[in-house]
């Protein structure tokens, strides 16, 4: 949700944001509806005032005068009901359309329609020096996982359908090690850990900006509850309808949860292996801070760096991409992805996403803080994937595979796996 006063003052800037982000909404259409709502509201209030005025006089009236006033009261009540129904219809459309309006991207965001408009801004590590096998010996993560007996996709599909899998034995232990290492990395920096609800109400999904727009990606539990696709939904909604004190900010939260996505509309895309699955584990960073863009961007660098430090520790090459306007979504004002090198693809694949949303989510969730001057302001929110599995297992397994069929466990994960240094194929 955006600042409507700002929209009314600067409609052309929002029209450009709509065009740049590829959002299907008319700013002019909304402004016309906004005027209609104001006019309907004024008419309703005028009729309500008339009714109240007559209602106050009736108790002291008698005879014919009272009969006339009662008849007038009845007519006014009918007119008021019509006005209220008219206002409600307009207001429903006004609110629905308001939820479609985008936030304004920062000037530094590249303009583009799709992923081809994204811009590489940083690289770390050299993919050409990471492999422990020759190109001819290279196996993808599925073949490695099957040889080590740590991934079983066919039985996952048998149990839960397409895009399902089992991690077993050392595979399950490796995932837990990755998650715990990441959590410990954040806890050392004094982040607050959440194990949030895995379900959220529609109100929270609207509040965090996923609805309207991402309904087809969500698993429905019942009429008003959905399985979360990221703990951002639960953790960001934690302070819904609250007023914080500026001294409490910034709030640095990390949510650890299982996540669920239908991946609707992606049939035939990244279907092989563990890249695009329906259920996964994630450690998500969520930040609430002051309404100050400069301070927020410092925090943006902090949360992206936290994720980069995990990749440094794992010694996985990656690059950072500025995401263009057409790819960043309705609520985001700045976004970067981290893409990790995946040898079997001979390309980088997205493993982390980092977003700054200004006050877009806070307006929807009604999260405010009291500034030093006593003024109430909406907080600004940021979020970042610090680790997500099993997708991170793709580069990990492929880069750490050895010529003898074993897989070396990264040094930083060995303490979480009882000191184990390698995984050995079942045939051995």
- Do 380 and 356 meet the contact criterion of CB atoms below 8 Å apart? yes
Active site residue 276: yes
- Do 145 and 272 meet the contact criterion of CB atoms below 8 Å apart? no
The H or E element that residue 423 is part of is strand 422-423
Task: Write down the catalytic residue from 103, 344, 353, 389.
Answer: 353
Q: Which of 72, 78, 42, 75 is nearest to 54 (CA)?
A: 72
What's the half-sphere exposure (Cβ side, CA atoms, 13 Å) at 342? 21
Position of tokens 């790819």? 327
Active site residue 353: yes
- Which residues are CB-contacts of 160 (< 8 A; sequence separation ≥ 6)? 278, 279
Task: Write down the catalytic residue from 261, 304, 363, 364.
Answer: 261
Helix, strand, coil shares of the chain, percent, nearest 5, are 45, 20, 30
Task: Write down the catalytic residue from 262, 276, 345, 414.
Answer: 276
Position of tokens 């703990």? 231
Active site residue 261: yes
225-239 residues labelled b (16+ CB within 10 A) or e (exposed)? bbbbbbbbbbbbbbb
- Which residues are CB-contacts of 247 (< 8 A; sequence separation ≥ 6)? none
Task: Write down the catalytic residue from 84, 164, 350, 414.
Answer: 350
What's the half-sphere exposure (Cβ side, CA atoms, 13 Å) at 228? 28
Q: Which residues are catalytic?
A: 261, 276, 350, 353, 391
């Amino acid at each position: 949700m955006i600042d409507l006063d700002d929209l009314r003052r600067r409609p052309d800037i929002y029209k450009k944001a709509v065009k740049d982000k590829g959002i299907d909404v008319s700013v002019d259409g909304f402004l016309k509806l906004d005027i209609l709502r104001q006019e309907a509201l004024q008419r309703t209030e005028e009729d309500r005032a008339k009714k109240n005025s007559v209602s106050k006089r009736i108790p002291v009236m008698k005879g014919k005068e009272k009969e006339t006033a009662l008849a007038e009261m009845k007519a006014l009540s009918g007119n008021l009901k019509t006005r209220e129904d008219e206002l409600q219809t307009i207001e429903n459309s006004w609110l629905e359309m308001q939820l479609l309006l985008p936030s304004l991207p920062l000037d530094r965001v590249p303009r583009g329609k799709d992923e081809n408009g994204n811009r590489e801004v940083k690289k770390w590590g050299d993919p050409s020096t990471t492999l422990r096998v020759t190109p001819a010996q290279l196996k993808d993560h599925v073949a490695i996982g099957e040889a080590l007996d740590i991934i079983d996709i066919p039985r996952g599909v048998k149990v839960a359908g397409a895009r399902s899998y089992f991690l077993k034995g050392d595979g399950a232990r490796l995932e837990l090690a990755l998650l715990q290492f990441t959590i410990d990395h954040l806890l050392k920096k004094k982040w607050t850990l959440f194990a949030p609800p895995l379900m959220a109400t529609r109100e929270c999904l609207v509040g965090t900006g996923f609805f309207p727009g991402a309904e087809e990606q969500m698993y429905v539990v019942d009429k008003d509850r959905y399985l979360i696709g990221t703990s951002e939904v639960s953790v960001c909604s934690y302070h819904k309808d609250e007023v914080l004190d500026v001294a409490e900010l910034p709030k640095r939260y990390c949510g650890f949860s299982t996540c669920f996505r239908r991946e609707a509309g992606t049939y035939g895309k990244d279907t092989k292996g563990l890249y695009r699955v329906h259920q996964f584990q994630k450690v998500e960073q969520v930040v609430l801070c002051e309404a100050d863009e400069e301070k927020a961007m410092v925090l943006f660098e902090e949360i992206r760096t936290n994720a980069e430090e995990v990749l440094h520790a794992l010694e996985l090459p990656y690059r950072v991409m500025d995401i263009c306007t057409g790819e960043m979504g309705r609520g985001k004002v700045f976004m970067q992805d981290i893409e990790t090198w995946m040898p079997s693809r001979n390309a980088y694949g997205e493993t982390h996403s980092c977003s700054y949303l200004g006050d877009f989510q806070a307006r929807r969730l009604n999260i405010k803080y009291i500034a030093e001057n006593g003024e109430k302001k909406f907080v600004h929110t940021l979020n970042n994937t610090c680790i997500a599995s099993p997708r991170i297992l793709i580069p990990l397994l492929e880069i750490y595979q050895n010529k003898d069929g074993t897989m070396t466990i990264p040094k930083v994960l060995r303490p979480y796996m009882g000191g184990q240094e390698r995984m050995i194929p079942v045939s051995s």
